[in-house]
Structure 1
């Protein structure tokens, strides 16, 4: 039911501002209905706020509450549809004429009546029902989590955490944080460490405290926690009265930590709690703390400055299979059982609590492959039924991950991830741009915060971190994705096929069909698609209309795999905002010829079989994002580029000639383009002339295919310099330039720079990130003239270390440096060079490393040495880098070499993590560019050191260090429970 509340509230947050716009912009003839519009504006947020508050305080809403909430959600959708049909673009001047004023007036009046009637029904039934005493007698949160994680594989983790607790300097307080998604085994691992014999020998006093979910705040919460800690540390002595006043508790605990070697474990720590108790712990002590949390930001804060963060890892397929063999498939395996266990392993996706829950549910049954597969197919339904209580804890954990999110907007954004299959990562850019297009968030900054929070809470796993520290892709935990999709479908937020019963009442339609995807490229497959948008009109009409009384239309359509009988005439989806056909096979211009009729489209992504776009695409007034990266499109009409709301264009395209009329629009500064990645410049390209007038451009990627005698050569150089200069006069933010140079354009950045050859050139522009690929005759003065440059990548430049050093030494603020196929033999990095550098990435064909003087690169925290023939560590002295946190190696390197680096890393006082990066060939690149993706952390070195103030992630293309954490959840503490000494306390 919370799903309905979240979605309805998100819709209201989008609808209400538009209603307010109508009030502000209403014409003379609409004044007689301003009162009705004002009614909607006032009532909608109050309705959702009241319903949200009512539902959120009950574990299971009644049937009348569900019906009432669904009614309000449907009304909100209908209002939103009405506004889209009748209102003009609020952002465009001179376009405030409402379409068909008479019909719009009738619709508003009808909505007023329907909302009034819905409110009356709510009063009669829902409010009356709420007066009946339905108080729950359910017990508090289940505390039996210490065996939630299967013992398979935990021994290795226990040894690692133990080593982090006792290793290194022992005279300072160290906090080890265990962080991970709910049900991943954090508590079980902590409990194993807490009770192991080595701990009892090392620590004379121990205390275990669990922070409960029930909320109390302030001084009472602090006193409750400290009392539990003190009682645990005192053990048998705790029978004497324990001081209850806050100051006394602090003094007693501080004295114990200073005079004895103590271990304190706080399970489920919260940020507010940590901030409150941190000051009482002495810095100089041999005592240790172990805390668990689901939030990375909390773990990071607890472990700074001298501690560590241990990130829980999912169980491997082998570990999962071993556990099932031990607990379920006892007595041997048959092919049928193999099939069943494989289905379970795949479904649970390495989540320990899910695996344990399924194993318990299967015990006592006659096991067959069919039974196991049926169990996995209907796992979420079984969680809902939960007849034998096997799934109580799992359901509780998954629901808590959702319901604990701080606002309904974030909940809706999380639900939206269900439109993507869970067998592949989700591009964070795609997700954010789709959120924006759907109206669930307001701007890119908010989108970034939403993603950060979901990653921080470990609901999303970050994949492929990028050059600004943000994840390029993410993926919900497999079991969480299944749970979200189940909830979304049940609440009519998502429909997964045309045959779904809730298809006409769902906002998001997802079609996934991989059965005949290869056939789509064959002759008969293409034949089936001849009438892709015309042969299934009846199905589309049924989808749109649905059963009587259901008139809602989908706002997004996403197709994966073969198109086949997916949709017919896309123009029938007149209010579609998002159309994602990037992964849809078998489409071409004939099939998508009428996309331009989708006048409300904001996000459009097309697939690999599309090779041309019509000039009619210039009619998509609202289009914000156009993704052509998978298409075969080479030339794009300029009419698309000048769309008034187009912000992001992805692909590798050329621009046709610009008419005088369109050129005038650019000269008037009409372009709102922010991202153009990217464009091919040849002698006929119109882009150099246009780029000068693209005042809002912040990210551009260019492939140069021109010679230095071409007029476009000079124009492009001038446009690039003006692009950099424009950054000087705007608030500092991310501005990125990527240039792929050919042999004839190696001096492009020297052009138009005059005779300025000073060693310290005047700062003439601002870029935060610059990537240059291709031959250079010298280190460009242009690079040295940039102020604030933080990220630099130089690939295949043919420059030597001696050529590079003078230029690099001028980049005092450089945080990340990547050098690809550069001769490093004469690259001598001295003390004072690159003083701000935190990440160094060297991609080499031969293992020839630079010389780094002792004391140089004092802020280095991450180093990537990507060469398959790399040997041991003798050429790089890791001990020189006091703050080193991470080391990345080529996945093709010799296993013995990996062992050498692992051993050396363990000897380092900061115990840096060792990662492997896999080589891939970029299909979009014509040059021999090598990229490294999907960092795979070495199994026996799973922890992340957090001794610096920033958290480091491995990047795929350009790697940097950036703080990515946000504030945590509020402190929730429940009542203390009695327990025996050295047993888990509960606060």
Structure 2
């Protein structure tokens, strides 16, 4: 477990360090040989850990104590090299600021630190040689090991199922003929869900149903994972079972003969061989199970159905837990099962595993069960009762393609179990940490978005809610038992820890959750002293949930922080942030509801995201826009100009990186609109307009809107504009009448006196949301000419005269209507 984690984390670190050293730092005279040595050693370390990662758990086996110590040493050395670079070297965009560079770089100290790292690398190399530490021979190890069960939950399905009746009937309905009429088309039903959610159990329940046995002439069950890369073996296993029943081959079946084939744990490369074995015009049914959503979709694409597994509710979870506890046991239960039910998160395999572990005790007390809950990750790794569950969870992690996916998944365990994680916030944090780096001509943001989608497609991360207008997932969370597994894995690999850890200086990410009164940073003495002298804190992120306690005054001690997330901290005061300007490498800053003013942040040159949405901050100095890396400014903010400060036009047009401005409050001060029109990289803008000036000034906001829309004509990237106006003035409507441009998303809230014609003149518009416009349904029917619109949301008091005819909005996928008047619109459009 530890080797896979270390390999995943170090792969990214080493790759980044190698590129950094290769590209830039030969300018340090006298250090070429030392840096060259470090680069070569890092390459070897990367190769060693990568080879370990390629081996399966069975091939790799358990590490010896010496091997584990060597892996830990390599990880710490890689992190120390990264710490050295971060402490002494500025980012490329900040090289022009002499004062900033001066605070970071010091040639003699940097040279001395490089020399120490070189010595440590040599010593580590000698130790590996002296103790015979080498890469495990995967071929030899595999030859002497027996393969693990391909379906860890296989014997679990024999247990009497709990809470499965409704799901079984739904699957049987999907297998049945539509409207009772026999179907002559082959149908594939895919059951998809997280590993351990009961997919196999559900498929078995449907397969063994007496009605199914009477309906189908032949049935066959195969476990696809037992025939990896062996399509012939998979089909042979099916044929043997069917021949034993009726002596016929698949090719010889008639259209009247019905077969039910279950393929458990199917993989993408196997689906084509299964479907090709059956003629397309066949009344047979294929039922497959998988953990990957795109595989399920592909299997059931034509004339099929996808069934998404639901987890057990609280009552059924408790029933299953207690049923297993009482089975073959006289265990006396005197405890509240709620904490364990919450941790297991409705997954049957997790509930059964915990119950099997608990029933070893003759008497279950509340204190013992609480203790098990607190250390569940440790028990899952060590105890035999969790073997099957551990295999499933390890498989979910180890089969992820690529190091970035693994690291990004582990990173989610910094959030509490069950915590709703905002999609965009998580992605921006990944980017700030450097865990997503694209080597091709694509932006890192696109790659990060694909990583999150991949984790959701594999049902490891669960979407919680989606936008009512475009179905895009806005918040997500991990499964409770998977969170426990990943948190233990992360802590074992010195990746993530809590405030209470006695030696947190070893960890890259720290979280605080409801610190007790009087608590402060733990392990201070250990972190400050060591064989190499003063050892500084190496945490790259600090996240607080609830109370921070006295630790709130220690934020600035983490000089290498890249992410400081205090959005959920509820005892923070403005004064606690007075030294935040010292965090010179900070890239992501999020503050919560107790903050009323922003501290001094002009020195935070590396800052990429400033999230003030939950704060009570209403104004910001316009100097914030001049931060060279700032890409996302979030909140409801009025930017004010003071002390005669002005931003260079060349910076705004060429170097300003601001992509998201959501949002900007505009009242009687329109000066910032003149600045906004010169920002060429803006992609998402939200404006609150509170008009208190004469209409003659409205030309500025009209110019800003038109400039933003027209700037998109040269790009195909997503561009979003959101307008929150109490009342859209006649003058502004007229000024926009003949405008045009490119927007992918437009949202407007506020009263309109007439239909805004510029909406229908926008190119590329795929998402539109109009709210509280007081327009008649007849006026809104003009929207039906938008041929590329995918998502439409209307929030109005009356839509009775809004008519969609067949052929209108031909690309529409999702329609959301919120009507305060009970009279609904008329639709003559045929829906699929």
TM-score (norm 2): 0.91
Tell me, what secondary structure is at the counterpart of 1:412? helix
Equivalent residue number for residue 522 of structure 1: none
Q: Which residue among 153, 157, 160 is the counterpart of 2:167?
A: 157
Q: Which residue among 27, 31, 34 is the counterpart of 1:33?
A: 31
Q: Which residue among 366, 371, 375 is the counterpart of 2:372?
A: 375
Question: Superposed, which structure 2 residues align to 1:516-915 within 5 Å?
Answer: 541-542=524-525, 544-545=527-528, 548=531, 551-614=536-599, 616-657=600-641, 661-665=645-649, 668-707=653-692, 709-710=694-695, 712-730=697-715, 732-743=716-727, 745-747=728-730, 749-753=732-736, 756=738, 764-806=740-782, 808-853=783-828, 856=829, 880-881=830-831, 883=832
Shift of 1:741: 0.9
Q: Can you list the C-alpha shifts for 1:919-955, whole angstroms capped at 9, x where unaligned?
A: xxxxxxxxxxxxxxxxxxxxxxxxxxxxxxxxxxxxx
Equivalent residue number for residue 83 of structure 1: 85
Equivalent residue number for residue 456 of structure 1: 457
Contact 1:148–1:183 (CA under 8 A) maintained in structure 2: no
Shift of 1:659: 5.9
| Residues 705-714 or 693-702, more deviating | 705-714
CA RMSD between the two structures: 2.7
What is the rounded CA distance, in whole Å, between the counterparts of 1:451 and 1:213 in structure 2?
29
**1:339 matched to 2:335:** yes
Contact 1:679–1:701 (CA under 8 A) maintained in structure 2: yes
Contact 1:504–1:547 (CA under 8 A) maintained in structure 2: no
The 1:456/1:448 distance shift into structure 2, 3 A limit, reads: same
The 1:195/1:506 distance shift into structure 2, 3 A limit, reads: same
What is the rounded CA distance, in whole Å, between the counterparts of 2:403 and 2:8 in structure 1?
4
Question: Superposed, which structure 2 residues align to 1:226-625 within 5 Å?
Answer: 226-236=235-245, 252-256=249-253, 258=255, 260-328=257-325, 337=333, 339-364=335-360, 365-386=362-383, 389-442=384-437, 443-466=444-467, 467=469, 469-497=471-499, 499-513=500-514, 541-542=524-525, 544-545=527-528, 548=531, 551-614=536-599, 616-625=600-609
Tell me, what secondary structure is at the counterpart of 1:583? strand
Shift of 1:374: 2.6
Equivalent residue number for residue 201 of structure 1: 214
Say which structure is richer in helix.
2
Tell me, what secondary structure is at the counterpart of 2:593? coil
Unaligned stretches of 5+ residues in structure 2: 438-443
What is the rounded CA distance, in whole Å, between the counterparts of 2:785 and 2:151 in structure 1?
58
Tell me, what secondary structure is at the counterpart of 1:733? coil
What is the rounded CA distance, in whole Å, between the counterparts of 1:591 and 1:375 in structure 2?
37
The 1:366/1:275 distance shift into structure 2, 3 A limit, reads: same
What is the rounded CA distance, in whole Å, between the counterparts of 2:540 and 2:227 in structure 1?
39
What is the rounded CA distance, in whole Å, between the counterparts of 2:66 and 2:209 in structure 1?
52
TM-score (norm 1): 0.77
What is the rounded CA distance, in whole Å, between the counterparts of 1:796 and 1:447 in structure 2?
35
Shift of 1:114: 2.2
What is the rounded CA distance, in whole Å, between the counterparts of 1:165 and 1:798 in structure 2?
48
Shift of 1:375: 2.6
Equivalent residue number for residue 234 of structure 2: 225
The 1:91/1:141 distance shift into structure 2, 3 A limit, reads: farther
Tell me, what secondary structure is at the counterpart of 1:734? coil
Higher relative contact order (CA 8 A, sep 6+): 1
What is the rounded CA distance, in whole Å, between the counterparts of 2:197 and 2:542 in structure 1?
34
Contact 1:315–1:350 (CA under 8 A) maintained in structure 2: yes
Q: Can you list the C-alpha shifts for 1:408-453, whole angstroms capped at 9, x where unaligned?
A: 2211111111110113211111111111111111221111111011
Tell me, what secondary structure is at the counterpart of 1:121? helix
Shift of 1:319: 0.3
Contact 1:642–1:670 (CA under 8 A) maintained in structure 2: no
Q: Can you list the C-alpha shifts for 1:12-31, whole angstroms capped at 9, x where unaligned?
A: 133222112224xx43xx24
Shift of 1:258: 4.2
Q: Can you list the C-alpha shifts for 1:774-794, whole angstroms capped at 9, x where unaligned?
A: 100111121112011111111
Shift of 1:810: 2.7
Unaligned stretches of 5+ residues in structure 1: 243-251, 517-527, 529-534, 757-762, 857-879, 884-987
